[in-house]
């Protein structure tokens, strides 16, 4: 999808992201994953800042998103949680950081949106310190045949209306990038994955 159109789609959803009340499962997954964040943290595609309540004290956050409206809400949310945060308005597929810049890299529900998810995975492998870790909560294709057929059928419509793919196999993309999945949990018929990833074995 054309990037300008995709940014417009996410701008339109920004108020919804800011005001929605997430279910207990999503909140507990965020909490379970993010308590492992330490040091210099990069969060990809931060949205309206849904992860902010779950960061441990003392981290230093760099948060990115290509939607100005999402980033505006994230900035306001960070102030509410007194987070030490810097915000970068950029397409993560175009952005670069020096190798080994971050102790922790976080992404929740963002790899569904990228045009080249493997390319982004390879970048975060490089940006993460060798002893750092990458925390992912991502959704994708179910291992249940019936559900996966539904996902494939609905994918073109969902991509057009909310800017996100529903048929990706995120654990596979992590493995293809050369990173190592240290721990994983799958939920909702394997549609949602929590992944604790090391850049190297
Ligand atoms: C489904 S939302 C998830 C937001 C947040 N991470 C969360 O857990 O609620 C996807 C986010 O990715 C952002 N995004 C999508 N593609 C992007 C890209 N190429 N570069 C930067 N941000 C992107 C969107 O603007 C949106 O805020």
Per-residue pLDDT at 163 exceeds 90: no
In sequence order, which ranges of 103-186 are alpha helices (DSSP H)? 117-127, 145-162, 170-176
Per-residue pLDDT at 1 exceeds 90: no
Per-residue pLDDT at 151 exceeds 80: yes
Locate 1 and state its tokens.
Answer: 């999808």
Q: Which atom of ligand 1 is the closest one to the Cα of 120?
A: 19
- For the chain, the structural domain boundaries read 3-198
Mean pLDDT over the full length of the chain: 96
Q: Which atom of ligand 1 is the closest one to the Cα of 7?
A: 25
Query: pLDDT band at 19, cuts 50/70/90?
Result: very high
- Report the share of the chain in percent with pLDDT over 70: 100
* pLDDT (0 to 100) of residue 188: 96
* pLDDT (0 to 100) of residue 187: 97
* pLDDT (0 to 100) of residue 88: 98
Per-residue pLDDT at 21 exceeds 80: yes
Longest dimension (CA), the chain: 45
Averaged pLDDT for residues 63-72: 98
Averaged pLDDT for residues 44-69: 98
SS3 of residue 150 by DSSP = helix
Locate 12 and state its tokens.
Answer: 């339109």
Residue 20, phi then psi, degrees to nearest 5: -70, 150
Of all protein residues, the one whose alpha carbon is nearest to atom 27 of ligand 1 is 47
Is domain 3-198 classified as CATH 3.40.50.150?
yes
* 95 Cα to the center of ligand 1, angstroms: 14
Query: pLDDT band at 201, cuts 50/70/90?
Result: confident
Q: List ligand 1's pocket residues with C-beta within 6 A.
A: 10, 45-47, 50, 64-67, 70, 91-93, 108-110, 113-114, 164
Tens-place pLDDT, residues 82-125:
999 999 999 999 999 999 999 999 999 999 999 999 999 999 99
């Amino acid at each position: 999808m054309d990037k300008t159109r995709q940014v417009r789609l996410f701008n339109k959803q920004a108020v919804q992201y800011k005001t929605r009340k997430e279910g207990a499962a999503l909140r507990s997954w965020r909490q379970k994953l993010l308590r492992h964040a330490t040091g210099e943290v990069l969060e990809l595609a931060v949205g309206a800042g849904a992860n902010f309540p779950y960061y441990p004290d003392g981290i230093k956050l760099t948060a990115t998103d290509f939607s100005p409206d999402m980033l505006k809400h994230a900035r306001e949310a960070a102030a509410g949680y007194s987070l030490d945060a810097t915000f970068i308005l950029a397409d993560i597929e175009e952005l670069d950081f020096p190798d080994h810049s971050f102790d922790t890299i976080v992404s929740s529900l963002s790899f569904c949106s990228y045009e080249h998810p493997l390319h982004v995975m390879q970048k975060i492998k490089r940006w993460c310190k060798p002893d750092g870790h990458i925390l992912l909560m991502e959704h994708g294709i179910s291992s249940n045949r019936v559900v996966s057929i539904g996902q494939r059928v609905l994918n073109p419509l969902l991509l057009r209306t909310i800017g996100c793919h529903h048929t990706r196999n995120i654990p596979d993309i992590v493995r293809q990038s050369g990173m190592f999945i240290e721990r994983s949990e799958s939920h909702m018929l394997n549609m949602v994955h929590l992944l604790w990833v090391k850049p190297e074995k």
